[in-house]
Amino acid sequence: MTTEELLANIRVIEDFPVKGIHFQDVTTLFQNPECLKEIADRIVALYKDKHIDKVVGLESRGFVLGAIVAERLGAGFVPARKKGKLPGEKIVETYNLEYGFDCIEMHVGSINPGETVLIHDDLLATGGTLGAAVRLVEQFHPAKIYANTIIDLTACPRSSSFPKDLETTSILEVDVA
């Protein structure tokens, strides 16, 4: 399957969640079994030799491929959830969105010190969510953190809080803000 075919399977929703946003809806990729397999195959190929111990999937679209990739890499899967969704003891990180603020949480003890972690989300825009996930994961003292997204919105300027030295890959690039 080509990159163009994958891009053709993304639904764009204008002015969601606020006016001026061209929301890239990856759920249409997930509905197509060939697209889902192709994206998972591409991510696994990028990280198969990185000795990943845990894959952190960001709520909610990051759960879908995050869990698939974790299983294929022989790694554990850790959900990073929105505030108030996890029971038990957790750590929290607050961050800016392109259109507001949000928080993500993870359970205490979900990553062991010295593990190698892959953070996965559906898209990279300003990097606010991914940057918050990195700060959250860093609290567990991992040996290495990688980041992956399905889509990189290349026209979006990165937030000053986005880690410049973070090794980040994306399967698709979309040139919209």
Catalytic positions: 61, 98
Tokens of 84: 């108030």
The residue behind tokens 């990097």 is 127
Residues 6+ apart with CB under 8 A from 49: none
Cβ atoms of residues 80 and 133 within 8 Å: yes
The residue behind tokens 């980040």 is 168
The count of other CB atoms within 10 Å of the CB of residue 31 is: 11
Q: Between the CA of residue 19 and those of 95, 99, 139, what are the distances in Å?
A: 21, 10, 35
